[in-house]
Amino acid sequence: MNTNSAIKTLNLTKFFTSKGNPILAVDEVTMDISQGEIFGLMGPNGAGKTTLLKILTTLLLPSSGEAYVSGYSIREEDKVKGSIGVISSEERSFYWRLTGRENLRFFATLHNLKPSEIKRRIESITGTLGLKDFLDRRFDSYSTGMKQKLLIARSLIGNPMVLFIDELTRGLDPVAASQIRESLKTLSSNGITIFLITHSIEEAIEVCERVAIMYQGSIKATIRPGEVELKDFMIETIGGRID
C-alpha cells in the first residue's frame, strides 16, 4: 500500500444476514486517506457509516475486500488497535466520582505506561486541549463539552496515529462544538489522521479537507467542501436525504 496512506480500502464489502436473507451494509468501498488528513464521512442514517467504522477499527470483519489502517491489514487486529483511538458521543465508561486526572491515569495504565510517562502524556495532551484547569475536578461536575474533550484526551493517551470519531459534537452548544473542532484541527496539524463521521454540514465545511458521501452502503462521491456547495451537492447526490 501507499506509505503515505493512513487508511486505505479496496472494494470493502459487508453483508449481514436477517431471517436467512443477506443485507448489504457496505458495498465495495474504495478510498485512500492521507496521513494527517481530516476526512469526513456523511450520509443519512442507515447509510453504512458506523458499519464501515467498525470494520476499520477491527470490531467487524468484512465479507470481502481489503483495508489497511496505519499500514496494517485490519486482519492484524492487535497492531491496528495499538495504532488508533476511537471516540463516540455515546461513550459512557468514565468514572464519575473520579477527577479528570484520575480517570486519565487509570486508562493510561491500560497501555502499560510508566508513571513518569503517564504524567508527561497527561500534561502534554491536556495542555493541547485546554483541559489543565479542570483536571482536578470530579468528572460528574464537567459540562458536556468538557466531557467530550476528556474523551479526546483519553483516546490520545496511547499516542495513536489515527483517530476514528463518531458524532463527537452532537448535542453540544455552538461554543463547545467550535472548541472541539479547533482541537481536531490542532491534532491534525500535529500529524494525527482523523476519520470523522458527522451529520453537521457546518462541521464538515469547517474542519474536513475531504468529505465522502455514503448512501445505501456505497461511497457516492468524495469532494472538497470548499469547492462545492456541500448541502446542495448532498441533496443532489442522495436524493434529498441529508439527515
Q: Rounded distance, CA 174 to CA 101, Å?
A: 26
The burial of 114, by beta-carbon neighbours within 10 Å (0-12 exposed, 13-18 middle, 19 or more buried), is given as exposed
- pLDDT (tens digit per residue) in 79-101: 999 999 999 877 678 999 999 99
DSSP one-letter string for 105-146: HHHHHTTT--HHHHHHHHHHHHHHHT-GGGTTSBGGG--HHH
* C-beta of residue 46 within 8 angstroms of C-beta of residue 126: no
- Tens-place pLDDT, residues 153-194: 999 998 999 999 998 888 888 888 898 899 999 999 999 999
Please tell me the pTM assigned to this model: 0.89
